[in-house]
Amino acid sequence: MPETVFEFGYGNTKITLGLPAGKIINNVLGKPWPPISDLSDTVRAALRNPIGTPPLREVVKPGDTVAVVVSDITRAWVRFDQFLPILLDELNDAGVPDKHIFIIIAPGAHRLNTKEEFVVLCGEEVCRRVAVNNHDCHNQAELVYTGKTKSGVDCYINKRVAEADKVILTGGIVHHLMAGFGGGRKAILPGISGFKTIQGNHLFCMNKEVGKGLNPNCVSGKLAGNEMNEDMLEQAALAKPDFLLNAVFTPENKFAKFVAGHWYEAWLAGTKIVDEIYGVPISAQADLVVATAGGFPKDINLYQGVKTIDNAFMAAKPGGVVICFMELPDIMEPAEFSDWFKYPTMLAHEMALRNNFTIPGFLAYRLLDIARQVSLIIVTKQENAEFIRKAGMIPAATAQEALVIAKEKLGREDYTITVMTAAANTVPVRK
């Protein structure tokens, strides 16, 4: 059978692999999207022609104290330093001087960021112009109560933000494997919320029935009926943010679009663009999915690689086979992720997660759960083999070895294939 040759990113190199053309039913790629050519004009146009609110110049007024919420260093790919100066200039033009503006870095339950990371995130110019401070979810003195959601979660957010005259949320919108989509309301929760509030919300990712593992509603691309998202929306509404500026990116991680205006309506419009770019229709799930994160840094460790595996899993038939190319030079990092593979059973892992929910713990559980449902083969460095087995997966040293294992697992020749050469970002959507 004639073959189609594909290149799969692997660390700083590529692995070339020929696959039988007649078996390929889907080639999942992000939609080409023209990058923004004039950033300043585009951002200003979004701020002056927003969705669901008056222009920013009419939302703020002279004398206001304005809080701008910015994601932490784990979201440096949003490149806040490129558009925050434009936002500050627009606020200045509306009569709000720099001395009346402050930035709160929103790490959620992540570690606090350093002053050097403030500069990486916001840029030297912004750090000179306005005060930049961390939110600390563990410091009760810095929190204020905003109310209780219908599901019973007590909501605490950053006191300085709550006391500001106006609050502007910033961020980037991508698919999120728990909350459906990132961006928008995530600047409030987990961004500037208290630790117990974050824990209360994140527990919605667990099945309501103990022993049944994860909540099937809390998955990538799903908003309606996603209990975690719906609780986030309630909490954001209680915080009453006044304006939002969020970015959407091309598959090459260039700015594709800015949405601005109402914290929910503008963000929701942005999620539809993300779906248009990255939500790739597939004709059917395949017996074999061959995928890659796209190389370094997306395959630097298994923690970063879970999103790739999750997306590839969505394209596979139940009981099928998934091959992922991941170099994983730092496979044991971070420790708060790799340490979760110590539990002897899935139930023990689940109970530990319910008692002390963490994102690394959730991702470890999700990975183990996927490995129970499909044969998950990881092409990686040979020294990673032991940990790959510990995590419930099958190690392979080469693409050819992985294909041999896959064919053995499938046990027949009439199998179908889906190829995902950008699986970290592309989400397969069944027609």
Q: Is-contact 281 298, C-beta < 8 A? A: no
Which residues fall within 8 angstroms of residue 241, CB to CB, at 6 or more apart? 69, 167, 168, 169, 187, 188, 263
CA angle 270, 271, 275 (to 5 degrees): 120
At 264, phi and psi to the nearest 5? -100, -50
Calpha distance 341→348 (Å, rounded): 11
Non-local CB neighbours of 15 within 8 Å, separated by 6+ positions: 7, 8, 292, 325, 379, 399
Q: Point out the residues that are catalytic.
A: 110, 176
CB 182 within 8 A of CB 174: yes
Cis check for the bond before 334: say yes or no (omega within 30 of 0).
yes
The torsion defined by the Cα of 220, 222, 223 and 227, in degrees rounded to 10, comes to: -80
Q: Are strands 286-292 and 394-396 parallel, antiparallel or unpaired?
A: unpaired
148 Ramachandran zone, left/alpha/beta (phi>0; psi -120 to 50): beta
Whether residue 38 contacts residue 46, with contact meaning beta carbons closer than 8 Å, is answered with: no
Sequence-distant (6+) residues with CB within 8 A of 350 are: 206, 210, 211, 213, 365
Contact 251, 277 (CB under 8 A): yes
Instruction: Give the span between the Cα atoms of 302 and 294, in whole angstroms.
Output: 14
Rounded CA separation 191/290 (Å): 35
| DSSP secondary structure code for residue 186 in this structure | G
- Closest to 256 measured CA to CA, from 244, 281, 279, 274: 274
Q: Which residue(s) pair with 394 in the sheet? A: 377
Closest alpha carbon to 182 in 305, 293, 320, 275: 275
Q: How far apart are CA 134 and CA 111, in angstroms?
A: 10
- The two tokens of residue 136 are 């600390």
